[in-house]
Amino acid sequence: MSVASRLGVRLEPRVDVPRWMNWAVPIGSFLSALLVGSVVLLITSQNPISVYQRILERGFLDSGSLSNTLISATPLLFTGLCAAVAFRVGFFNIGGEGQFYVGAVFASGIALALGADAQSWIAIGAMILAGALGGALWAFIPGILRARFRTNEIITSLMLNYVAGIGATYLIFESDSFWRELSGTGAVFPKGKIIPLTAQWPSFDLGTLVVPFGLLLGVLVAVWLHVLQRRTRFGYEMRVVGGAPSTARYAGMRPARVVVAVAMLSGALAGLGGATDVGNFRHVLDPKGLQQSGFGYAGIVVAALARLNPLAVVFVAIILGGITNAGYALQGPDFPAGLVGTLEGLILFCTLGGEVLARYRIVLSRRRPEAMSA
């Protein structure tokens, strides 16, 4: 029974999380990410202030840059909603990536099948439905597997990302599929067929700002999701199933069905993102480009930063879109591309750290107060 005095650091769970922390914690996390980021920048002999200034300008302020940011934000918005809605009921859908690909495959397929003669609104409507359907079907697989056999959806949905990626690659690079361009240069260099002009989604000019139709669709969907979760019977079931599954069963709900339905809803959102990618931006099924972007995984970050709130997802997607976009603009001999990725990683890291601080508090204590000698 020794008597020594040591300083101890412990985490104690907070009895209650005060309201102001809901917004103070994410903002604080973001600011500390910038702070840590500036240390990294200093080490790489960059001037943090001028770098942040450039990010602000290139991401949001310069003429035309906000328009580019909105383009970068659109897919993140959909995959962010995909993760937010699924995580809310405890279905950890890591498969937004694959569901995004499948949505793109379905949407480009229907656009090509309808051809140039279809009316524009029919083609666009069909792409939206097809994209959502494709994503929903892809997410149905991990959903039903979990509901029926209690498989871990984190693993199944993640594995299906690779299946979807390989499948899309096969369509363009390893087969003479309907999606592949076989005439012209396409005969030599594999690429997808461009969808007809009538199926290409519009963008709206607001002065210097160009707003893609896909972003508006995403915002509408986010508002719809908010109402769904807060005001409807299904949203009520979602919240009960997510927080207390055995209570849901006790109340006569069908937790398995709710989970499968939410899995499909979540997949549909990612699939919509895939449709947007084809309709609004690439106009073609581009498996390599899709897989390099990693929108699905970035969506998980967006959802986490937004604390699974659909409306917050909109803002987070735009902020992260801006940083990504600024990254493209900043890359050059004096500015390695990796730095933007590092900054994004720091934001996620600080957010998760902030979550811990919101739920626990740090207690400093002498480990041995008023020690009695034995």
Count of residues touching other proteins (by CB under 8 A): 32
Distance in angstroms (rounded) separating the CA atoms of residues 38 and 140: 43
Distance (Å, whole) CA 102 – CA 137: 9
Q: Which one, of 69, 37, 42, 45, lies nearest residue 56 by Cα? A: 69
Is 239 near other proteins (CB under 8 A)?
Answer: yes
Residue closer to other proteins by CB (options 13, 332) is: 13
Q: Binding to other proteins by residue 175, rule CB under 8 A?
A: no
Alpha carbons 271 and 85: distance in angstroms, whole number: 14
Among the listed ranges 147-155, 227-235, 288-296, 317-325, the one in contact with other proteins (CB under 8 A) is 227-235
Which range touches other proteins (CB under 8 A), out of 111-119, 124-132, 134-142, 364-372? 364-372
- Quick one: which of 148, 231, 257, 359 contacts other proteins (CB under 8 A)? 231
Show contacts of 127-130: CB within 8 Å, 24+ apart.
Answer: 127/199, 127/201, 127/275, 127/278, 127/279, 128/217, 128/272, 128/275, 130/103, 130/106, 130/275
Residue 105 CA to residue 98 CA, distance in Å, equals 11
Binding to other proteins by residue 364, rule CB under 8 A? Answer: no
- Residue placing its CB nearer to other proteins in the complex, 43 or 372: 372
Q: Interacting stretch for other proteins, rule CB under 8 A, among 10-18, 21-29, 113-121, 135-143?
A: 10-18
241 or 319: CB nearest other proteins: 241
**Smallest gap, in angstroms, from Cβ of residue 232 to other proteins?**
5
42 lies in the site for other proteins, by CB under 8 A = no
Per-residue contact string for residues 104-143; x = within reach of other proteins by CB under 8 A: ----------------------------------------
Closer to other proteins at the Cβ: 332 or 369?
A: 369
Torsions phi, psi for 301 (to 5 deg): -60, -45
Task: Tell me: does residue 234 bind other proteins (CB under 8 A).
Answer: yes
Interacting residues with other proteins between 323 and 362 (CB under 8 A): 361
Least distance to other proteins, CB of residue 174, Å: 45
Tokens 């055995």 found at: 246
Instruction: Answer yes or no whether residue 251 interacts with other proteins by CB under 8 A.
Output: yes
* DSSP letter string, 58-124: IIIISTTHHHHHHHHHHHHHHHHHHHHHHHHTT----THHHHHHHHHHHHHHHHHHH-TTS-HHHHH
Q: Is the dihedral of CA 314, 258, 90, 359 positive or negative?
A: positive
Cα gap 298→74, rounded to integer Å: 12
Chain contacts with other proteins (rule: CB under 8 A)? 1, 3, 12-16, 231-234, 236, 239-240, 243-244, 246-252, 361, 363, 368-374
